[in-house]
Chain A
Amino acid sequence: MTATGTEPVDLSEKRDDVPELSTEELQRYSRHLLLPEVGLEGQRRLKAGRALLVGAGGLGSPLALYLAAAGVGHIGIVDFDVVDVTNLQRQVLHGTRDIGRPKLDSARDRLGDINPHVQVETYETRLTSANALEIIRDYDLVVDGTDNFPTRYLVNDACVLTGTPNVYGSIFRFEGQASVFATADGPCYRCLFREPPPPGMVPSCAEGGVLGVLPGLIGTIQATEALKLLLGIGTTLVGRLLLVDALRMQFRTLTLRRDPECPACGTRTLHELIDYEEFCGLRATHSGAGVPEVSPAELVAWRARGDAIDLVDVREPGEWALAHLAGARHVPLGALSGALDTFARDRTIVCSCKGGARSAQAARQLRAEGFDNVWSLTGGILRWRAEVDPTLPGY
């Protein structure tokens, strides 16, 4: 199947309970009803439509707003996070007065205001291998607005196993990707990326930053694809990967094929959901995997007694500029292998990062290079802020 010839996926065929629209709804959706491609029939399909949003963050915000405004009748949202001030630069679903509230609460309030005709179902939980299939089965499509690799692979596999289209979007800094995975004949996320990167190799938005409007760009593209799928119109991104570079303002689409060796949609050797934390190598990182750890209080004590300590901050440059520990030097994780000659073997090396995962990886890497006295600062700068220096800004 080639990209441009992809048939739209008509999800609404399986419904015979297409609802009627009230007078108020006819007026509300008049700009849709005027479109021959939507019309009354299409608007009723949207009302019958069921979309599950995984994540109510950067991508989930425009997704929820536009799908609700468009009249998608049933919107499910999975999230377990609380609104934080650092979210507001891009997560337009939530406001300043929502800080500290569960995101699902502010989402419900906002969507109810935008369109009271929409039924919002909330799932205050992390999507897991134990609950994903059961939740997803109730929906016509899933929109992936998560922010981590384990959940992305989980969403993908659950969509393939249940035959539910997965409207994919992903962002980092100034760039985004979008596609539609897991349709009957189309490729899936695993066809594009066979495996996740090792922990720490690819920074998250919390580590590397993201232009606030970028999730708006990508999220509205996902919303567009979700509406087209529900309506059964146009040519969707099935079989195509859209790359968006906001810095150069370039959009490009590449052909995506089903990988015959894909365990999910190719060979279909994947029969059930797996342990995605393990798949993404996160079990080892969380436990430190044999890397000695030093707590903030211990490090303060070591310094107080005058130990020769090389405190090495392995975060990204933007994070370093935002806040760093006094007396630390900066060697980003990606540059570590090129900076080995700056480390002295007779000193105590303490690696630090934001939360302790990347510093554990850096410490492992240095140990593998023959440095014996290497430690990882437990809990990173976040715990340091909580226990030693509250004047440091959080991020």
Chain B
Amino acid sequence: MSITVQLPTMLARLAGDTQTLEARGTTVGDALTDVIARYPALGPRLRDESGRPYGFVTFYLNDEDIRFRGGFAAPVADGDEVIVVPTVAGG
């Protein structure tokens, strides 16, 4: 199963300057764990020390906020896209 994880440019430098990462897993959490295993520096930017989502990084599975699909336990299927939306405040 191949999932795509889309990073914003601000996090791409922690993932070998790539914004589009291939990942494996059956849930959003699995897919993120897979990506973090390859790019450990991403870990603390995507989830807290106990592995839970932060309130200031929102994850989308395709077009839907994962909080309405079971959070990190949201099931993913081949071809799905996980989009990382970090909070930014610039103006």
Contacts and interface: CB of A to CB of B under 8 A. Distances in A.
If over half of B's interface residues share one DSSP class (helix, strand or loop), that class is named, otherwise mixed; here it is mixed
A325 B28 CA distance: 43
Contacts of B45: 334
Given A254-B83, A337-B44, A195 B56 contact: yes
B9 A196 contact: no
Contacts of A98: none
Interface stretch (A113-121, A127-135, A166-174): A166-174
A263 B17 CA distance: 37
A192 B10 CA distance: 19
Interface in B1-20: 8-10, 14, 19
Contacts of B44: 337
Contact of B10 (A172, A193, A257): A172
A78 to B, nearest CB: 12
Given A173-B10, A193-B55, A193-B58, A149 B89 contact: yes
Interface residues of A, number: 49
Interface stretch (A56-64, A100-108, A295-303, A382-390): A56-64
If over half of A's interface residues share one DSSP class (helix, strand or loop), that class is named, otherwise mixed; here it is mixed
B38 to A, nearest CB: 15
B41 A204 contact: no
A173 B9 contact: yes
Which of A58, A59, A175, A205 has the most chain B CB within a 10 Å cutoff? Answer: A175
Interface of A: 55, 57-60, 144-149, 152, 169-177, 192-197, 202-205, 208, 210, 215, 241, 243, 245, 247-248, 252, 254-257, 259, 334-335, 337-338
11 contacts: A169-B91, A171-B90, A196-B55, A197-B54, A202-B56, A204-B89, A245-B9, A247-B9, A254-B65, A255-B64, A338-B40
